Amino acid sequence: MHSLLAMLCGSLVGFSLGLIGGGGSILAVPLLIYVVGVRSPHVAIGTSALAVGINALVNLFGHWRRGNVNWACAAVFAAAGVLGAYAGSSLGKLVDGQKLLILFALVMLAVGAAMLRPRASGGDPGVRLVPRIAVRLFSLGFLTGGISGFFGIGGGFLIVPGIMFASGMTVLDAIGSSLLSVAAFGLTTAANYASSGLVDWRIALEFIAGGALGGWLGVALATRLGAHKHTLSVLFAVVVFAVAAYMLARALRAP
C-alpha cells in the first residue's frame, strides 16, 4: 500500500509537469509528507527534488518529439538556474523544517494567485537567441533557480512565465523548454540534499515510476488542450490553494 501510494502520487506530479510545465514539487512535497508519510520536511524536499528532476527529463523528451522545445533559450536559462539552485538549496538546509513548510505554503499561495492571471496566447514560435535575450534569460534563470533551490521545488510555475518574458516565445514552447530547467534545478537540489543524507531513494524510485505514466498523459493533453490551458490553470490553482491552506494549518498547530 505504501508503494502504491507513492506511485499514485508520482503519477499526479508527472501529469502536472507534462501538462502545464509546473506543479511538480509544489504538489510532491505535501504529498510525500501527508499522504506517503515522510516525516522529515527536509527528506521530503530532497526526495521530491530527485523525482521531479527525473520526471521532468522524461516529459522534456515528449515535448521535444512534438517540437515544443527551444534548446538555445532553455540551455541559457537552465545553466544560470543551476547556480542559483545550488545557492538556494544550501541556504534551505539551514532553515528549521517546520518554518520551511510555512514558507513553502506561503509560496504556494503566491503561485496559485499568479496562476489565476491569464497568459497571453501569442508569442514568437521562431524566437532566436540574441545577446539581449540571453542576458534576460540568464538573470531571470539565476533568480528562479535560487527560489527553486531554497524551497526544493522544480520551479515550473516560475520558469514558464520567466522564459516567456525574457524571450517572447509561445506558451506551449515555454512549457516544453521549461522542463530542461525544472530537471536541472531539481537534480541540483537533490544532489545537494543527498550529500547530507536527505533523500529516500526507494520512495524516489516509486515516485519516478508513477510519474512516467502520468507525464506521458500530460504531454499528450498539453498539445490538444492549448485553448483551455487557462481553465486548467484555474482548476489547478484551486488545488494549490487548498493544499497550501492544509499545510499552513498543520504547520501552525505543530509544537
Does pTM surpass 0.85?
Answer: no
Distance CA 96, CA 58 (A): 33
Predicted pLDDT at 231: 64
Predicted pLDDT at 69: 92
Predicted pLDDT at 224: 72
Q: What is the mean pLDDT of each run of 10 residues along the chain (255 residues)?
A: 84 80 74 89 90 87 87 94 88 78 79 69 76 94 85 72 85 85 87 92 92 82 65 69 79 70
Q: Residue 181's CB: how many other CB atoms inside 10 A?
A: 35
Predicted pLDDT at 140: 92
Burial class (CB in 10 A: 0-12, 13-18, 19+), 60: buried
Distance CA 33, CA 38 (A): 5
